[in-house]
Structure 1
Amino acid sequence: MRNVLSFLTLASMAAPEATSGEDRPRVQVVTSVGEFTIELYPDRAPISVENFLRYVDEEFYHNTTFHRIIRDFVVQGGGYNTDKTRKETHEPIRNEADNGLKNERGTVAMARLKEADSATSQFFVNVVDNHSLDHSESDFGYTVFGRVVEGMEIVDRISGVPTVKHGPHRDQPRVTIVLKRALRV
């Protein structure tokens, strides 16, 4: 009996207790092609969720674009105005990709540069399972901090938009996909 109790105690310590769906913040993303809702995981990625909600509350994402679309990979936004100029951001945050969450279809993660702790405002939605983006011994990975819980068909629609190369940037949508607003719901 003691071994069973010890195991249960260790098991409960090993995995952080998840908050219920009712306790998880949600953000509605309104785009030029429809709306989708993201549920956030502050229990697993507190820094990333706080950072994302800061930008949401500041209305930073209003009238930005989904500037990088790679069919069967990701839809990325949150960094450029509709005139393709880069937005000023807050300081980068610490990478939390070692939180146990995986870059699976429908999950939302922080975009970053090559440096692990370089994420600011940009985020992406995984259109497929992208395990190569997960935390591993050889790569720190990309922090998953939420999941699309309503409107994944809108993300799929965005994912299917034809893209072009524009200047140094590849995978830009031929037609501008506007992130009109992101609001807590």
Structure 2
Amino acid sequence: MDALLVSTGVVALAEIGDKTQLLAFLLAARFKKPLPIIAGIFIATIFNHGLAGALGTWITSMLTPEVLRWVLGISFLGMAAWTLVPDKIEEDEANVASRFGVFGATLVTFFLAEMGDKTQVATVAMAAHYPDPLMVVAGTTLGMLIADVPAVFAGDKLAAKIPLKLVHGIAAAMFAALGLATLLGMGARFGL
């Protein structure tokens, strides 16, 4: 259960202001059809984070527990720093929409935008960290939906009211705490 809760919280916070959330705002403003956009986000996230979860599980089978502890601890600290860097959306990712319809455009652009994105990297790290990668993927997918569904419905009105620096600071602190707990070997004691 810890894997689900931590994954959900970390990704929901990390996603605020992320390029995929900006993409959700853009698609919502352009198409004004929230249901196919939300369905596209959901399916793209399941596939993307499912691959990330599988990679995280594979990594655990390839590294010794001591090396894995250091790799994960440093990765979580790196994620803390990366979370503090604001994202920008690339216009090419948004232009795919004209060719595939609302659902298809959302599916393709979200999947591609998530490749190598901080929430995908976080999914890899958490799947390597926790013994239940399915709960991690469920949590990271839920976290994406928690952050992106309101973006689809509220559009730019909501974006202007969210204190992004504060939210990014909280997400960075969560990643840093995970990193320090992992490096210090305290993760097992606290269910991390």
- State whether TM-score is above 0.5: no
Q: Which has the larger radius of gyration?
A: 1
TM-score scaled to structure 1, two decimals?
A: 0.28
Q: TM-score, normalised by structure 2?
A: 0.27
- Structure with bigger strand share is 1
